[in-house]
Amino acid sequence: MKIGKYEVSIINSGYFKLDGGAMFGIIPKPLWEKSNPADNANRIKLSTRNLLLQHGKRKILIDTGVGNKWDAKFQSIYSIDQSEYSLMNELTKKNISSDEITDVIITHLHFDHTGGSTKFENGKLVPAFPNAKYYVQKRNYEWAINPSERDRGSYLKENFTPLKEAGVLNLIDTDKNFDDEIEFIVINGHTFSQQLVKISDSSNTILYCCDLMPTSSHVQLPYVMGYDLQPLITVEEKKKILTQAVKENWKLFFEHDPQYAAATVKSTDKGFQVNEKFQTF
């Protein structure tokens, strides 16, 4: 798909699982399991789906998935599955090496969004994309290095401290336009200063929803994750963004939906609902 000067393509960097109850908060299991069946440990399958934007020599990656540097215990807890898809393999299929990535936009520093940002090299953790600049909101970084007891398990310093030490982590203070087609929308319900990525031109818009709406099921306003630090703020953020998405016919890009990459949305007498779903674009 072409948006402005960029060729936009989907990168599937593998699958993992999280507790279904935590993913859907107050929503009863008989409702969410219809579209998201759980295993015998009550975990649901989730994708780690990223976007690649290309223009000339510039190659921008949005989020980096779980990564592959974890021990067996960690892999078992989260049922990490990169047997079919992984970030580096999918880039290789596109004839892109890690050295060619010029920019990595990190929506927030939870392990399932930035685990692939670092790698082990000669026993040391280093940036996985050695020639790239990485971008994250300053407030999210500050929270990540000193998180609460509630979300400490999601912020793993081995995913981002090596970036800071290497001098490649750029901290952004506010909403800003990255360039003519890329805009950051900063929200605070899920965690502090998560940045959604809006990619648009005069005729098309893709919104990279990250954890505001991780799956297509989360389009409905009450479907808010138990992981969210400020769930009532999440509801208000969703309402504002979905209203604009309906009005301007945006495609919402779902990072964690195991089946659908994106969807348009509609407003009905029962609230916001998914309209047309897309497995690719």
- Domain boundaries along the sequence of the chain: 2-278
How far is Cα 140 from Cα 250, in angstroms, rounded to an integer? 26
Phi-psi region of 94 (alpha: psi -120 to 50; beta: other; left: phi over 0): alpha
Q: What pLDDT shows up at residue 281?
A: 87
DSSP-based helix, strand, coil % in the chain, nearest 5: 25, 35, 40
Q: What pLDDT shows up at residue 16?
A: 98
Q: What pLDDT shows up at residue 176?
A: 76
For the sheet with 205-208, list strands across it. Answer: 182-187, 194-200, 205-208, 251-253, 262-268, 271-278
Superfamily of 2-278 according to CATH: Ribonuclease Z/Hydroxyacylglutathione hydrolase-like (3.60.15.10)
Helix (H) or strand (E) run with residue 58 in it: strand 58-62
C-alpha dihedral (14, 48, 87, 101), degrees to nearest 10: 180
Task: Answer yes or no: are the C-beta atoms of 252 and 274 closer than 8 Å.
Answer: no
Helix (H) or strand (E) run with residue 111 in it: helix 111-114
Q: What pLDDT shows up at residue 55?
A: 98
Task: Answer yes or no: are the C-beta atoms of 161 and 169 closer than 8 Å.
Answer: no
Which positions ≥6 away from 3 have C-beta within 8 Å? Answer: 181, 199, 200, 201, 204, 205, 206
Q: What pLDDT shows up at residue 174?
A: 77
The answer to pTM > 0.75 is yes
10-residue averages of pLDDT along the chain (281 residues): 97 98 98 96 98 98 97 97 97 98 98 98 97 98 97 97 98 88 97 98 97 98 98 98 98 98 97 97 87
